[in-house]
Amino acid sequence: MSTVAIIPARGGSKRIPGKNLRPFNGVPMMAWSIRAARQAGCFDHIVVSTDDPAIAELALAEGAEVPFMRPAELADDYTGTVPVIAHALGELPDATLACCLYATAPLVQPRYLREGLALLLRNPARSYAFSVCSFPFPVQRALILDDSGALTALYPEYRHTRSQDLPEAYQDAGQFYWGRREAWLRGDTLFSPCSLPVTLPRYLVQDIDTEEDWKRAEYLHQALRAAGEIDA
């Protein structure tokens, strides 16, 4: 068995330009993911898939590998995660288990990376194990705006159901996705019964797509480090 962390990090971020290299609490954003992977101690290789020479240079300086450059057709705004990992595995013929670790996940913790690997090894019939967290409220009680701008229930059938009687729902935490080589290459669907959850506490989960997200994540990261609640 050979395990690899594959960190997708293209150079053309639009919403937050240059976010993979931008300092996050004094450290380039992508470096937090590389350091967490190194601390996890469960990877034979830590590989960065990028089309950007500056990102490749940072990856090497942080102790990761860049054995190939990602082709331009897999580095646009529309390419999904699975094709990027499948391409990387085509360049890494010895890898049997691959963990897609996002470059913009500064709250990722080594212990959960190890937990994902252990979960997949215990369940050989499953394709993936990835990070999730619970929604803080019942999604069945969500509201939307109608065409006139008025509020209406997204799921009107649950309008009068008590919140405690509704099943808990989960969201993709957007940190990491362990998968078997053959599952990535087949393109197995991540959000399906072939996947298992690595459940994170909600305070470790923050998407970073806007400047507001970035600031909130930095404050959260600072507070958790000061409290000794995170490893990286």
Over the stretch 207-224, which tens digit does the pLDDT of each residue have? 999 999 999 999 999 999
Paired tokens of 68: 């190939």
* Segment 38-76, tens digit of pLDDT: 999 999 999 999 999 999 999 999 999 999 999 989 988
This prediction's pTM: 0.94
3-class secondary structure, 23: strand
Distance CA 109, CA 57 (A): 24
Could you report the per-residue pLDDT of 82-116, keeping only the tens digit for each?
Answer: 999 999 999 999 999 999 999 999 999 999 999 99
Mean pLDDT of 178-188: 97
Predicted confidence (pLDDT) at residue 232 exceeds the cutoff of 70: no
Instruction: Place domain 3-130+170-226 in its CATH homologous superfamily.
Output: Spore Coat Polysaccharide Biosynthesis Protein SpsA; Chain A (3.90.550.10)
Average the pLDDT over 116-128 and give the result.
Answer: 98
Beta strand residue intervals within 31-159, DSSP E = 45-49, 97-101, 128-134, 143-145, 151-153
**pLDDT in the model for residue 26:** 96
Mean pLDDT on 123-135: 98
Query: Domain locations in the chain?
Result: 3-130+170-226
